[in-house]
Amino acid sequence: DKIESEWTPQEDHKLRIGILTFGVGEWGKISEYMKTKDISQISRRWQKISQTRRGRWTAAENAMLEKLHNDHGKQWAQFAGILGR
């Protein structure tokens, strides 16, 4: 059974990696990868955190971009979607 709880920053990070790995809409695969959230929780969370933001980047966003770049190369368009930028 999946856990119904608040999302942690670590789970948000894992969701972003799942999106990068499997693609938007592959909620079943991402749910298997995450193990702590079900398909509907994942799709709802992605809708919430994938909205485009503007303005200064936070330290957490900078760190996430650096990690994505180090782990996955120069996939800037995908990173923009993951980071909502």
User: 6-37, pLDDT tens digit by residue?
Assistant: 899 899 989 989 998 999 899 999 999 998 89
Outline where DSSP puts E strands in the chain: none
Query: How many angstroms separate the CA atoms of 85 and 80, rounded?
Result: 5
Q: How confident is the model at residue 2 (pLDDT cuts 50, 70, 90)?
A: low
Cβ count within 10 A of residue 64: 20
27 in Cβ contact with 39 (< 8 Å): yes
Among 79, 80, 25, 75, CA closest to 47? 25
Extents of the domains making up the chain: 8-52, 57-84
